[in-house]
Amino acid sequence: MSRKKEKRLLDEDRDVLRLKPYSIHTELIQLVENSSRQLRGVNSETCKVSHGALKKEVVEIAEKWHRECDTLALYNLKKESGI
């Protein structure tokens, strides 16, 4: 295996390993947002900002390795804008 290909695989593996905790954190933040909405009728602005930042980073990582991420990006944009 060439050095270039080996480096690319290692970089991709690092990104996949980063996505695992992000997906867990994103779900936990979503639970907090939903609980807040049920209790207070609104979402915490801190939760919205944190969740949005995590989703954007996940989309950036996905787009880095796969050009066909339109559905993922659109889903996150829709969720971000509240549509």
Q: Which two tokens stand for residue 30?
A: 């979503």
Q: SS3 for the chain, per residue?
A: CCHHHHHHHHHHHHHHHHHHHHHHHHHHHHHHHHHHHHHHCCCCHHHHHHHHHHHHHHHHHHHHHCCCCHHHHHHHHHHHHCC
Mean pLDDT over the full length of the chain = 76
pLDDT value at position 83? 41
> Which residue shows structure tokens 């969740």?
51
Low-confidence ranges of the chain (pLDDT < 70): 42-44, 47, 76-83
Give me the residue spans of the domains in the chain: 3-81
